[in-house]
Amino acid sequence: MIWLGAEQINERLDYPSLVAWLDTAHGSDIDAMDDLLLSQSPPDGPTRHFLLRAAWQSRLGVGAKLATVFPANRGLPSVQGLYLLFGAGDGRPLACLDGTALTLWKTAADSALGAKRLARDDARTLLMAGAGAMAPHLIQAHLAVRPSIESVWIWNRTPERAARLAASLAGLRTPVRATDDLEQAVRHADIVSCATMTLSPLIRGEWLRPGTHLDLVGAFTADMREADDTAIRRARIFVDSRETTVAHIGELVIPIRDGVISEADILADHFELSRGIHPGRRSPTEITLFKNGGGGHLDLMTAHFILDRASP
């Protein structure tokens, strides 16, 4: 069994090839997947989580990610973990991978694949809401699939973090700036990507102009959501996997429970989009919404791709 750390993973990956691989990998069904989520709410801070996400696909193998989500961490990533990959034919342990790096690449590529199908081809402006570890990966992944983007704006509850992140991305081909006006940034954006852990929606539907693509990444529990009912009601809704999102994440659980939408309003997932069962965006004026649930099948697909690139 080999160990692949963050540096080795980062050296082997790029977004165009990883997005293309995820598109191809969704041509095959996943045989089984399941999650375990444990949560603890300390009296002096935000809720902490332990996630175990496992998936099995006869061609790719079996894998499981063990990850912690500690939002109050200072000096350490809020998400940390390991990924174990086992062989498809004999079940032997093949690799242990840095789970943090794998999660960052997998999650950003997942959203970028959604944008490839759902964002307008002529999208010019990207807004990144949230300035955590996930944000620079999402920005770079969206730029990879939409080279038409000419400007990037970053908003964060703490403006200083947005400014620091913008400065750190000065080397990108596209100017990156911080903003403290979320409403105006949303109103002018062609793609809005959100990676926060908020329980109260940040994105209001009345701010979304026709043609906007909304990429929702942060919510992963049944009480989390980043967009309000109006945004959900106005948008054509897509997910990365029906199985891991519709009944599990507040972004969809809450509006379905409240009658704002029904399960039938979720039009397609990556499996359907990648196989051409659904065409994705149909007009330049519709608002599209993609919920990134980041299930264990995506970890398995990404880990397999990393190991393949690490092989001699």
Query: What global pTM score does this model have?
Result: 0.93
Residues 49 and 69: their CA atoms lie apart, in Å, by 5
**Three-state DSSP class for residue 280:** coil
Give the helix/strand (H/E) hosting 36: strand 32-40
Residues 149 and 288: their CA atoms lie apart, in Å, by 17
Check: CB of residue 115 under 8 Å from CB of residue 145.
Answer: yes
Write the pLDDT tens digit of every residue in 93-113: 999 999 999 999 999 999 999
Average the pLDDT over each of 61-75, 122-136, 202-216 and give the range with the smallest value. Answer: 61-75
Q: What is the pLDDT of residue 312?
A: 64
Q: What is the pLDDT of residue 304?
A: 96
Residue with tokens 């081909």: 173
Q: Percent of the chain having pLDDT more than 90?
A: 94
Q: Which domains does the chain show, CATH number per domain?
A: 2-103+297-310 (3.30.1780.10), 120-294 (3.40.50.720)
Residues 229 and 216: their CA atoms lie apart, in Å, by 14
Write the pLDDT tens digit of every residue in 256-286: 999 999 999 999 999 999 999 999 999 999 9
Q: What is the pLDDT of residue 310?
A: 83
Question: Counting Cβ atoms within 10 Å, is residue 216 exposed (0-12), middle (13-18) or buried (19+)?
Answer: buried
Residues 42 and 243: their CA atoms lie apart, in Å, by 30
Torsional sign, CA 13, 248, 219, 256: positive
Residues 66 and 80: their CA atoms lie apart, in Å, by 8
Residue of 297, 248, 292 whose CA lies nearest to 130: 292
Give the confidence band of 75 by pLDDT, cuts at 50, 70, 90: confident
Longest dimension (CA), the chain: 55
- Backbone phi, psi, residue 103, to 5°: -65, -40
* 185 DSSP assignment: H
Residue with tokens 């002018």: 188
Write the pLDDT tens digit of every residue in 23-44: 999 999 999 999 999 999 999 8
Q: Measuring CA to CA, how many Å separate 94 from each of 21, 106, 155, 303, 307? A: 20, 19, 40, 10, 9
Residues 41 and 46: their CA atoms lie apart, in Å, by 6
Tell me the two tokens of residue 63: 């894998």
Residue of 246, 296, 247 whose CA lies nearest to 267: 246
- Backbone phi, psi, residue 144, to 5°: -65, -35
Residues 29 and 243: their CA atoms lie apart, in Å, by 12
Please compute the mean of the pLDDT values over residues 118-146 and round it to a whole number: 97
Assign 3-class secondary structure to 199-257.
CCCCECHHHCCCCCEEEECCCCCCCCCCECHHHHHHCEEEECCHHHHCCCCHHHHHHHH
Q: What is the pLDDT of residue 266?
A: 98
